Amino acid sequence: MPPPTVAPPVLLSLDYATQQPGLPELPQSVVAYTEGALRIGTDVPDGNHGIAADQTVYRDVIIQAELSLAEGDDDDLYGLFVRSPSPDFYYTFAVSPSGHVVVSRYDGEHDPLVAGPLAAEMPFARGLRQTNLFQVVAIGPSLTFLLNGMVIVSEVVEADYQEGYLGFYVHHGQQSARAEMAAHWIQVRGVFPESAESPAA
């Protein structure tokens, strides 16, 4: 008889249609709950903005979030950031409404690790207000990025940065007046017992 399977513990689960925790005020961006979603917008050209899903430092986790671009154009990106110990360091996983995917490392400036159009056979809902499922499996120095259940890429990253904040990310290009992403829900599951810890006081 096989041993019983145990689901990884849920560390965070927010459905923004019914759960709307307090929001910070961010310069040069708009953060609000609109139409049952968390909206993050900016009108700064070539601007990058994000908001942490909560004030918890995460280690080895599985992240899932349903996201869409509510306003913008084909040079805008929306997605997730992970492994951010400070505002000056993070990894992003984002996609444009036309299906251009970018996985990037930020350490004072953006360093694209992967950038290009999705393959034609990849499941992806194109256009504004079309929801897609973003997933990141972060274990040790390995980050695996999935879109709608399909693996995009796996990257081995710095061993010194194996924990940090995670949340939502939007990049505004230059074609539209503003870019605004919508986060519909997010779930974070732990892989090991020490997958999450509160930030130091």
pLDDT at residue 27 in the model: 66
- Sort strands 150-156 and 77-86 into parallel, antiparallel or unpaired: unpaired
pLDDT at residue 108 in the model: 87
* Closest listed residue to residue 124, CA positions, set 92, 96, 91: 96
**3-state SS, one letter per residue, for 14-51:** EECCCCCCCCCCCCCCEEEEECCEEEEEECCCCEEEEE
User: What is the mean pLDDT, run by run of 10 residues, along the chain of 201 residues?
Assistant: 71 97 78 95 91 95 98 97 94 97 93 93 96 97 97 90 95 94 98 76 44
Residue 45 CA to residue 76 CA, distance in Å, equals 10
- CA distance readout (Å), 6 to 65, 193, 195: 22, 13, 16
Between the two ends of the chain, the Cα-to-Cα distance in Å is 47
pLDDT at residue 200 in the model: 53
